[in-house]
Structure 1
Amino acid sequence: MPLDTLVHRASRPNPVVSIEQAQALLFEHYGLQGQLHSLGSQQDLNFRVESAQHRWVLKFCHDDAAPQALAAQHEAMRHLAGHGLAVPQALAALDGRDTLAVHLGQQRLQMRVLSYLDGQPLTRLKHLGPVAIARIGQLCGEVDRALLDFQHPGLARTLQWDPRHAHKLLDHLLPALDDPGQRGRVVEMAFQAQRRLGAVSADLPLQAVHLDITDDNSVWQRDADLRWQLTGLIDFGDLVHTWRVADLAATCAALLHHGHGDPFAVLPTVAAYHRVNPLEQAELRALWPLVVLRAAVLVSSSARQLSVAPDNDYIRANVEHEWEIFDIATAEPFELMEAAIFSSVGQSIPESAGDGILPLFAHVTHSTVCRVDLSVLSEHFADGNWEQANIDERLLSGAAAGSGWACTGYGEYRLSRTRIDTCAASATCALHVQVQAPPGTDLQAPWAGTLKRLADASVVLEGASLSLHLWGLDCPSPAGTVLAAGAPLGKVDGSLLVQLCRSPDVSPPLFCTPARAAAWQSLCPSPARVLGMDCDAPLPPDAGLLLQRRDASFARSQKHYYQAPPQIERGWRNHLIDMHGQSYLDMLNNVAVLGHGHPRMAQVAARQWSLLNTNSRFHYAAIAEFSERLLALAPPGFDRVFLVNSGTEANDLAIRLAWAASGGRDMLSMLEAYHGWSVATDAISTSIADNPQALSTRPDWVHPVMAANSYRGTFRGPDCTAGYVRSVDDTLRQLDEQGRQLAGFICEPVYGNAGGIALPEGYLQQVYDRVRARGGLCIADEVQVGYGRLGEYFWGFEQQGVVPDIITMAKGMGNGHPLGAVITRREVAEALEAEGYFFSSSGGSPVSCRIGLAVLDVMAEEGLWENAKVVGRHFKARLQGLLDQHPLVGAVHGSGFYLGLELVRDRHSLAPATQETALLCERLRELGIFMQPTGDHLNILKIKPPMVTTRQSVDFFVDCVVQVLDEIQG
């Protein structure tokens, strides 16, 4: 086809057909009637036809779209359906034809009707995760594999989207770009892409391809868990015989605007395609140049189309995200994207030979140099010292104090590079090595090359296949000097940064993110051979393989967070850090009240371990001191302490105390509550989220009463107390009628498992009175909500203005060390003694007591209760602000650092947004936040972070929640 014809086709306005005309033609030729709804198109005209029973798509295109090409599309759809792929099918007209020529005024058009696929495109979705992105790549591979043997005369056509014609087409489209800056960028990037493509184009396999398998042309529906499932592929208008990889390039380009500015986000598409339809090496090299060319044609074509059809809203709506596609496609060097593509399919870019390389330092041996460990688990790092300025350099200098030589590790994930409270991945992977050398050390050229000096103060020796980048070199030779291998290169006076690069046109960073590490390392290989020293850091362990080992040996009923969790090996304050140095905001770890890695905990534990650790039957000071401190925190009248290992053990013991003191066995507990995993505490736990069989497996001594949930319970609002107390009265009446002695009542004074909901006003006061009137004891389970976490109160029962008979606690008491306690009165404690003595092997050990004391000391010294109050108020206010912005947010519960964000689909019916909450938690992890759902419907974010959490972290968390809610609802 002549070029002017191609350009004409790339600049045509859409056909003009009114709805009335379309309905008349539809009935005349197909005998169909229905409502017509316009569908967008760049150059055609499409309508969705809806009748009471069926849906179809009515399509009009210009007559110069050869009927043979349309026949090829119909035949290809039948071919793909035969391979099990969901695609539309052409509907025969009344005369048996599937394509009809019609005349409307001066317009000569082709008309046809296709079956309709239910679902929607994902083009406007604000976030398209890696699973969906990979699924589109898999679809592309499946279609191309099925079309491999498809032949049809209608495939032999010249199409504007065929990248074989891109360079000619762009010459004529580019003048439509009015902005000279934009036009210049498109010209430059298209030139580079075409040059790289030219080196491999002769080796690219050809076949029939769809050429428009995109988020706009794939059809999706949400499943029961609100996850997107692919249901089909539409729009075969670009079907053509061309390079196979062009199909994948079109798919990748379309998905770029879902990558949040990161071109690496489309790599799952490439990997998924390759798994079902392996790519050849030439195709891997051609892929990104084709993506860039596709983006260049997109923006240029839209500009040209708007110039001839300025009222086409479909084109105008696409312009912004097409420029976003171009910007992302050209954001990284071609060399890096090629390396990333190879890496995504498990291959490496072929390396040039490195024979004849001389060592940079002529007289250095491996034994001379001390490699400094700066990794996440380095013993040099403690107490957050990695946050100090220049810590790596100071550690390096100190390590060189002996021999004068030290170096950092290439490929090491540096802890000092970790950044907190940000969605952006931290650039932690070192693509260079820093060497500390004796002053005046001479360097020699490791190969023949030309000297360059760059704006970043580096000196570069550019060789035939490698470039050597050096910072800190005293080099007397001017730029442009040609050096022979072994020639003097200069001197280093202290610290030298060394980096290799295989591409002379790329200026690599010194550090990169973990996701980019494999690609950058293929471009910037280890300088170990050049340096003549052992500088390669060991690879981090494979978190997936470690998880397999866990699952093979650790009982699976002991669940882990997330399906593919990161490997967490370090923590500091309110953040957790994985082996790649990536930081995660911890919003669910109410055990570590002081934060992770607190130095006082390490010092106290080490000191006491070095002295003594035994059981509480021995006589030592710590147990008396800690018991006294706990009693000082309790209300007057409490004078006895039991020390145990956990909240489960504390609640189990509290039940035994109630049995012993009351003489009864029957216990009241609240529905939807959780109290532990022992036989007794599991019996009184009724949360179906923790145990789906909870309501049907309670023993006869457990009597659940109605969950006093004033938000979604049977009785709601400020005057609901009486209704919930009646539930207790009904249960007590039944026990009285049966002549059963009540042992006690246990509940959390703040409804922790439901996200920190305050109990109705006066509820505990009335229930406690009724229980005590029958000789029962009242147990306050403060394991989750007590110990200052609520901010406004130290104990949860203070909010209700009551004093229990038994207080149980654990969690934050030991900041992660297994430590729990039961506080009660002497007569209650001695009632158990009459049945025999009580003993907990590690409860109240010297180490446990010293840690418990240290936790109380630090809480006081660092004002953590006050922090929970002040920052907690800001936290709750920010969460409450979401009520006006997001319909999914139903309520905000709790106070301090025990908050609940309850998500509902309807604020009147309170239908729980369970699936949305799961998606929210998964997405928050991707953004660097650990959060999990709670409640019987798993629709509540139970927010219980370390009590050192800052206002900055709170704002980061809420901002991310806002972002994800926008994505889910958008």
Structure 2
Amino acid sequence: MAQDTLHLYSAAEAECLFQELYGPVGRATALPSERDQNFKLVVEGEGAFVLKLYAPETDRIWLEAQDALLQELAERDADLPLPRVVPNNKNKITDEVLDPSGKPRPIRLLSWMEGEVWNKAAQKQDLDYSQIGQLMGRMDKALKSFGHEGANRTFLWDIAQAVTHRAFLHLIDDEKIRSIVTDILDRFEQENACALNKLPSQVIHNDANDYNILVDKQGQISGLIDFGDFINSYRVCDLAVACAYAMLGQRDPVGRACDVVSGYHRVNPLTAGEIALVYDLVQVRLAESVCMAAQQYAANPENEYLLISQKDVRELLIRMEQINREVVHYRFRDVCGLEACPGSRKLVQWLSANADQIGPICDPALSADNVLVLDLSTLSVDEEGKALDAEAATNLIFSIMEEAGAEVGIGNYLEDRNVYKGDFFETVDPEERRTVHLGIDLFLPAYAPLYAPLDGKVRVHNDNTRDYDYGPVVILEHETDEGQVFYTKYGHLSRTSLALWEGGKAFKKGELIGYVGPYPENGNWAPHVHFQLLLDLMGMENDVCGVAARSERNVWASVCPSPNLILGMQIKCEGTIVRSARDIRSERARHLGPNLSLSYRAPLKIVRGEAQFLYSDSGDAYLDMVNNVCHVGHCHPRVVKAATSQLPVLNTNTRYLHDNIVNYARELLSTFPEPLEVCFFVNSGSEANDLALRLAQNYTGSRDMLVVDHAYHGNLTSLIDLSPYKFNRKGGKGRPEHVRVCPMPDGYRGPVKASDPDCGDKYADMAIRELRALEQAGGKPCAFIAESLLGCGGQIVLPQGYLPKIYQAVRASGGLCIADEVQVGFGRIGEHMWGFEQQGVVPDIVTLGKPIANGHPMGAVVTTRAVADAFVTGMEYFNTFGGNPVSCAIGLEVLQVVRDERLQNNARRVGERMMQGLRRMVDNHPLIGEVRGMGLFIGVELVQDHDTLEPATLEAGKLVNLMKECGILLSTDGPLDNVVKIKPPICFSADDAERFLREFDRCLALVEQE
């Protein structure tokens, strides 16, 4: 049917159709489309929709299948950001209308998806490409069992049907591109198609291109549109399509593909067979694109845009031909959390178990006494920053060795170096070179003999004569007793060695295999042997990488395990791996628990701390106002010295006598009122609270607990049960039977306001009602546990009279009172050393953590003699590292720093200044609901409305991120996540406070203006 015979609906006609079929009145706007017509319909008060009018000849079975597919997705995963089909007045999803020419036109309505297309958004901000993989993985998972006859069709955009594109090869005008595409289709037909047939198949979207994916202002995917290319194919093809479009126009196309693959695998795990095919299938999709454009251009040669739009596709195909396919395969395995090079761990275990069967590779035997580890990361320049030539480098290295009395110089494995100058160290990424050393260098005199460490045979050898290459190099092939093949590589040898390698010669362990090469025949280097262990030559043979790009470090570390497995030197000879913030996020997602959170929209990589400041990898300084763990300041020199002085001397357990534990116990207990006189030392605040629970249970013989709502007491199972902040929120299992929850004494948001003179009594009465209910049910309280000021509850200062009344009632009922001082102790509140003191009470048990050792893993329980004695049941309490000499030395120093630097008084003075400044802002900032706190424990609650107290949660998040951009670190807390919490190290100064107040005022104004 010719295009000119088809009636084109106007916006007004579309509005009439919409009202007739769907009811509401809407305003229509035409949307771009090729054959079909699409209109955006906006209905006041109801949002927007897309009205789609199809051509008369559109396959009705295909439309039915698309309807069914969208319904299946909505049922299987309702949170997917996808359009939803909207039934009309006749409860039909797809209907027909007769256009003015009498032709039946299928018509359907979809919900409107807000957002900017990925292609445009990516030009403005750095988007997280793993989102694409996660979206497609979730969608494929939801469609796993879906089937419809309309999805079984012949379709040129199906990767599985790639061979049909051979018919278009002659139309490709560029000879180089035609050759690449031909090779791709040949490989598909000869290798990929058979492997593909063994993989999972299902209905897939098949068109996750960068114009079909929508993104919101925060850079998060808000929608996926256009389901017209869906087909019953292979699951991995959906991923390959997404990767192909994600790689277009990218500086690091493989890195982008890795992001997509890892995101997909995280939600819909791939098989090893699928991972092995992804890269090839991406090339197939790109080849199909070239073929489709060529045949379209041949039919419509005046459309130059068809060739312009292919520019990125053709450039990517050329770049992909230069990339080692096996390396990419291993990178994909790595980002999916699999062993990058299969068999790597197995070989490491074999070499470790058979270390006594491995011989030396040189004279003298390598030991910690005769080797010197060299730092070659900056060897390319001298002290004045001038480039070193090989002769100067040789003289420098061997003079350093002579001065140290070393017979062998060692160049580290995985050391990142800037010495590699040849153009063969370049990569397809113009901003990255190969710099990470994959072997161990042994600097020895020229012509020093080298020996086979194991039986082996010559796999490959050559004289690589390029400057800064290997010179003479040999690779030996070995085999474990289980038949696993591996290789050892020896580079920079002498030309006199070449004659030893002819004819694939076999060597026995200990036989001569060559000599260290002199400068310049060894590739223009200082005399040394580059020794490398490999599992796979990756198709490169004698050119197999000895130096890797940083982006491929994980892969090559798996392909090339540490050569020290063979050398057996009892020294550290491995470089420190430094990763970018982006790489660390990827590694975390791969190897750490997925519920481990990060702060801020753009997480920081922090590399150094000092006092109240943290420093990022880019050198930016951040004023830390949230880290109460480093109580007296990050890396306080006295605390560091206490640790480093004790650590080299002794670190053992409490079954031996040592001064530190008793000295620290005396100093710590001197800060507590009587009768708190007994200490138990543990490794964290969570351990402290768990032990307090055991102490209370032994003393009372009861298990029933009273807790405060929204409290958090630790991450152990026993403490999650006592933490409404956890058990009543997402993922929690609700209140356990043995726990009673007392209302949070929130004088701002709660039923009793702080202005009520009896506020404390009334909230205590509410808690006591829970106690009476427990008693009426036949129970007896084990203990009442509460933070002395509420942290996760929103930085709430307890109203006066609250704890005394509860403590009296609980003790009268036979229970104990536990004060959780993990966050607020050690002088943080200024007026008192311990938070419970501001209520005029003395608990039966006090738990300490976080600040006790300035970030060193330590905690403590302080209790009465009576409670401690009741714990003596015949069962020993032993904590291997609780109270060890190093921890106690650190803990003692923290207490003395607080005393000597008058930090408790500092917390009071600076805290008062900040509270005054924040309260003065209340009249100018409608978002501030309440300012509360004591000392350097402060909360600012943000609300939308002062009457309804509607929380300003979103605004609080924006404020915290804005402050981070100003170099000030804050966080949010509270049951509604709308309280800005302020808990800096207590060395925080008055100048810091002034800076904070200025920036807080400014950033809050910006948030309020949005």
**TM-score per shorter chain, which class?**
0.5 to 0.7
Q: Are the counterparts in 2 of residues 83 and 146 from structure 1 also a CA contact under 8 Å? A: no
Whether 1:750 and 2:792 are equivalent positions in the alignment is no
Whether 1:708 and 2:695 are equivalent positions in the alignment is no
Q: Distance in 2 between matches of 1:240 and 1:778?
A: 66
Which residue is 1:59 aligned to?
52
Which residue is 1:267 aligned to?
261
Whether 1:365 and 2:324 are equivalent positions in the alignment is no
Which residue is 1:19 aligned to?
11
Q: Distance in 1 between matches of 2:433 and 2:831?
A: 41
Q: 1:671 to 1:501 in 2, by over 3 A?
A: closer
Q: Are the counterparts in 2 of residues 90 and 98 from structure 1 also a CA contact under 8 Å? A: no
Kindly provide the amino acid, as one letter, of the partner of residue 459 in structure 1: D
Residue of 97, 113, 119 corresponding to 2:107: 113
Alignment of 1:690-705 (within 5 A): 694=735, 697-698=738-739
Which residue is 1:822 aligned to?
862
Question: Shift in Å at residue 401 of structure 1?
Answer: 6.8
Q: Distance in 2 between matches of 1:766 and 1:149?
A: 69
Question: Shift in Å at residue 672 of structure 1?
Answer: 3.9
Q: Are the counterparts in 1 of residues 165 and 291 from structure 2 also a CA contact under 8 Å? A: no
Whether 1:287 and 2:276 are equivalent positions in the alignment is no
Q: Secondary structure at the match of 1:764?
A: coil
Which structure is higher in RCO with an 8 Å CA cutoff and minimum separation 6? 1
Q: Distance in 2 between matches of 1:90 and 1:736?
A: 55
Kindly provide the amino acid, as one letter, of the partner of residue 746 in structure 2: N
Which residue is 1:600 aligned to?
642
Which residue is 1:810 aligned to?
848
Residue of 810, 823, 840 corresponding to 1:785: 823
Alignment of 1:441-452 (within 5 A): 447-448=461-462, 451-452=465-466
Residue of 514, 518, 522 corresponding to 1:489: 522
Kindly provide the amino acid, as one letter, of the partner of residue 236 in structure 1: G
Alignment of 1:834-853 (within 5 A): 847=885, 850=889, 852-853=891-892
Instruction: State the TM-score, normalizing by the size of structure 2.
Output: 0.52
Alignment of 1:208-223 (within 5 A): 212-214=206-208
In structure 2, stretches of 5+ residues that fail to align are: 76-82, 344-358, 376-382, 386-395, 418-431, 451-457, 477-486, 497-501, 505-513, 577-591, 599-605, 611-616, 683-687, 961-968, 1000-1005
Question: Shift in Å at residue 751 of structure 1?
Answer: 1.0
Residue of 438, 446, 468 corresponding to 1:432: 438
Question: Shift in Å at residue 437 of structure 1?
Answer: 1.0
Q: Are the counterparts in 2 of residues 668 and 745 from structure 1 also a CA contact under 8 Å? A: yes
Kindly provide the amino acid, as one letter, of the partner of residue 860 in structure 2: G
Which residue is 1:648 aligned to?
689
Answer with 147-156 or 43-52: which moved more: 147-156
Q: Secondary structure at the match of 1:113?
A: strand
Q: Are the counterparts in 2 of residues 433 and 527 from structure 1 also a CA contact under 8 Å? A: yes
Alignment of 1:314-463 (within 5 A): 334-335=322-323, 339-341=327-329, 344=332, 365=361, 370=366, 404-405=407-408, 407=410, 430-440=436-446, 447-448=461-462, 451-453=465-467, 458-459=468-469
Whether 1:197 and 2:184 are equivalent positions in the alignment is yes
Question: Shift in Å at residue 643 of structure 1?
Answer: 1.3
Residue of 728, 741, 750 corresponding to 2:764: 728
Question: Shift in Å at residue 263 of structure 1?
Answer: 3.5
Whether 1:252 and 2:243 are equivalent positions in the alignment is yes
Q: 1:210 to 1:673 in 2, by over 3 A?
A: closer
Question: Shift in Å at residue 754 of structure 1?
Answer: 1.8
Kindly provide the amino acid, as one letter, of the partner of residue 795 in structure 2: G
Which residue is 1:764 aligned to?
800
Answer with 748-757 or 47-56: which moved more: 47-56
Question: Shift in Å at residue 666 of structure 1?
Answer: 13
- 1:470-521 deviation digits (Å, cap 9, x = unpaired): 99979999xxxxx9998953575366767898669999895656x7445556
Q: Distance in 2 between matches of 1:143 and 1:892?
A: 52
Alignment of 1:575-614 (within 5 A): 600-601=642-643, 603-604=645-646, 607=649, 613-614=654-655
Q: Are the counterparts in 2 of residues 435 and 496 from structure 1 also a CA contact under 8 Å? A: yes
Q: Distance in 1 between matches of 2:787 and 2:214?
A: 44
Q: Distance in 2 between matches of 1:115 and 1:648?
A: 58
CA RMSD of aligned residues (A): 8.4
Instruction: State the TM-score, normalizing by the size of structure 1.
Output: 0.54
Q: Secondary structure at the match of 1:263?
A: helix
Q: Distance in 2 between matches of 1:60 and 1:720?
A: 66
Q: Distance in 1 between matches of 2:785 and 2:86?
A: 68
Q: Are the counterparts in 2 of residues 60 and 110 from structure 1 also a CA contact under 8 Å? A: no
Q: Are the counterparts in 1 of residues 41 and 48 from structure 2 also a CA contact under 8 Å? A: yes
Q: Distance in 1 between matches of 2:820 and 2:847?
A: 5
Q: Distance in 1 between matches of 2:230 and 2:670?
A: 79
Alignment of 1:118-267 (within 5 A): 130=130, 133-137=133-137, 139=139, 194=181, 197=184, 200=187, 202-203=189-190, 205=193, 212-214=206-208, 234-236=226-228, 248-255=239-246, 262-267=256-261
Q: Distance in 1 between matches of 2:67 and 2:770?
A: 71
Question: Shift in Å at residue 236 of structure 1?
Answer: 1.2
Q: 1:211 to 1:527 in 2, by over 3 A?
A: same
Q: 1:652 to 1:280 in 2, by over 3 A?
A: closer
Kindly provide the amino acid, as one letter, of the partner of residue 200 in structure 1: R
Q: Are the counterparts in 2 of residues 404 and 436 from structure 1 also a CA contact under 8 Å? A: no
Q: 1:70 to 1:365 in 2, by over 3 A?
A: same
Q: Distance in 1 between matches of 2:986 and 2:315?
A: 42
Q: 1:733 to 1:294 in 2, by over 3 A?
A: closer
Q: Are the counterparts in 2 of residues 441 and 492 from structure 1 also a CA contact under 8 Å? A: no
Q: Are the counterparts in 2 of residues 671 and 706 from structure 1 also a CA contact under 8 Å? A: yes
Q: Are the counterparts in 2 of residues 810 and 819 from structure 1 also a CA contact under 8 Å? A: yes
Q: Are the counterparts in 2 of residues 782 and 795 from structure 1 also a CA contact under 8 Å? A: no
Q: Distance in 2 between matches of 1:48 and 1:944?
A: 50
Q: Secondary structure at the match of 1:714?
A: coil
Q: Are the counterparts in 1 of residues 96 and 105 from structure 2 also a CA contact under 8 Å? A: yes
Question: Shift in Å at residue 534 of structure 1?
Answer: 7.4
Question: Shift in Å at residue 644 of structure 1?
Answer: 1.9
Question: Shift in Å at residue 804 of structure 1?
Answer: 3.6
Q: Distance in 1 between matches of 2:909 and 2:317?
A: 46
Q: 1:490 to 1:81 in 2, by over 3 A?
A: closer
Question: Shift in Å at residue 452 of structure 1?
Answer: 2.9
Task: Give the paired residue count.
Answer: 786
Question: Shift in Å at residue 708 of structure 1?
Answer: 2.0
Q: Are the counterparts in 2 of residues 613 and 845 from structure 1 also a CA contact under 8 Å? A: yes
Question: Shift in Å at residue 667 of structure 1?
Answer: 11
Question: Shift in Å at residue 433 of structure 1?
Answer: 1.9
- 1:278-334 deviation digits (Å, cap 9, x = unpaired): 659777425247459869999xx99xx9x9999xxxx9xxx9xx9999999999885
Q: 1:692 to 1:912 in 2, by over 3 A?
A: farther
Which residue is 2:423 aligned to?
none
Question: Shift in Å at residue 136 of structure 1?
Answer: 1.0
Q: 1:920 to 1:278 in 2, by over 3 A?
A: farther
Q: Are the counterparts in 1 of residues 826 and 833 from structure 2 also a CA contact under 8 Å? A: yes
Residue of 629, 654, 659 corresponding to 2:667: 629
Q: Are the counterparts in 2 of residues 412 and 430 from structure 1 also a CA contact under 8 Å? A: yes
Q: Distance in 2 between matches of 1:164 and 1:867?
A: 78
Q: Are the counterparts in 2 of residues 74 and 89 from structure 1 also a CA contact under 8 Å? A: no
Q: Distance in 2 between matches of 1:694 and 1:532?
A: 56
Q: Distance in 2 between matches of 1:459 and 1:878?
A: 65
